[in-house]
């Protein structure tokens, strides 16, 4: 399952905005693709999804989740999804947090220390910054919701070996200095399946912690 959404970026003219389109893989949190445009458009979204789908190897059985915005339900995008064999999924009506993975990603993006305090000077300027953010997020950012591996590590199956090595390091440390641990060492078992919505067994506070990128 992928999730996608659009967020605003301040543009070069006072009061104007650029529009950032981002697609994220729900299981791995990997950003699959992005675009920055001067307007919201179902056609722009369709082109982005088609490119991401092709670059991912034309996956079968893909579900694409979004909120209920106009571009998300535009005829061009829906026709493209049908042609690609991708199943559209939408947030429930009047539920503001039904697309948490995209929302958490946008929060991470806009709270990065490198996020510009001033408006972007052009579409090209915004695209260049987003490209750098994507590279950092996918290859360097150790995501707290996936045991502090990078999205690329989880997406490409490297998390098992990485977490096994971490488990060994912690076990050796505990064996040498057991007095440092009053409980079990940190859980380095790979995360299992991911729910689109929060688990009903988690408190709101824990749900929020697990959502933050």
pLDDT at 153: 98
pLDDT at 175: 92
Residue range 28-35: mean pLDDT, rounded = 98
- Closest CA relative to residue 109, chosen from 3, 8, 1: 8
- Closest CA relative to residue 104, chosen from 3, 8, 205, 1: 3
Question: CA–CA separation, 162 vs 117, rounded Å?
Answer: 36
pLDDT at 152: 98
Give the tokens for residue 191: 């995360």
As a CATH number, domain 2-151 is 3.30.420.10
How many Å separate Cα 99 from the centre of its chain?
A: 10
Express each pLDDT in 58-96 by its tens digit.
Answer: 999 999 999 988 899 999 999 999 999 999 999 887 666
Lowest mean pLDDT among 44-58, 60-74, 135-149, 196-210: 196-210
Rounded to the nearest integer, the mean pLDDT of the chain is 90
Question: CA–CA separation, 212 vs 106, rounded Å?
Answer: 10
pLDDT at 183: 86
Terminal-to-terminal C-alpha distance of the chain: 17
Residue range 123-151: mean pLDDT, rounded = 97
Band (pLDDT 50/70/90 cuts) for residue 212 is very low
Burial (CB count within 10 angstroms: exposed 0-12, middle 13-18, buried 19+), residue 125: middle
Does residue 205 have a pLDDT over 50?
A: no
Residue range 198-207: mean pLDDT, rounded = 44
Angle between helix 123-139 and helix 100-110 axes, rounded to 10 deg:
110
Does residue 142 have a pLDDT over 80?
A: yes
Band (pLDDT 50/70/90 cuts) for residue 201 is very low
- Closest CA relative to residue 23, chosen from 193, 111, 157, 55: 55
Q: What three-state secondary structure class fits 104?
A: helix
Name the residue ranges covered by the structural domains of the chain.
2-151
Share of the chain above pLDDT 90, in %: 77
pLDDT at 96: 64
Question: CA–CA separation, 198 vs 58, rounded Å?
Answer: 29
CA pseudo-torsion sign 29, 30, 31, 33: negative
């Amino acid at each position: 399952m992928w999730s996608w959404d659009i967020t605003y970026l301040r543009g070069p003219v006072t009061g104007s905005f650029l529009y950032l389109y981002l697609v994220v893989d729900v299981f791995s949190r990997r950003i699959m693709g992005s675009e920055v445009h001067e307007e919201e458009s179902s056609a722009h979204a369709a082109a982005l999804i088609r490119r991401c789908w092709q670059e991912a190897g034309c996956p079968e059985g893909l579900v694409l989740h979004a909120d209920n915005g106009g571009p998300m339900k535009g005829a061009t995008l829906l026709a493209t999804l049908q042609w690609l064999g991708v199943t559209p999924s939408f947030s429930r009506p009047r539920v503001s947090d039904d697309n948490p993975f995209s929302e958490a990603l946008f929060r991470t993006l806009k709270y990065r220390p490198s996020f510009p305090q001033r408006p972007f000077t052009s579409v090209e300027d915004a695209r260049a910054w987003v490209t750098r953010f994507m590279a950092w997020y996918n290859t360097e950012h150790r995501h707290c919701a996936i045991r502090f591996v990078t999205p690329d590590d989880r997406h490409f199956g490297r998390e098992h070996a990485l977490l096994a090595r971490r488990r060994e390091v912690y076990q050796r440390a505990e064996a040498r200095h057991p007095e440092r641990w009053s409980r079990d060492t940190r859980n380095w078992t790979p995360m299992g399946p991911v729910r689109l919505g929060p688990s009903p067994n988690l408190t709101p506070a824990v749900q929020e912690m697990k959502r933050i990128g």
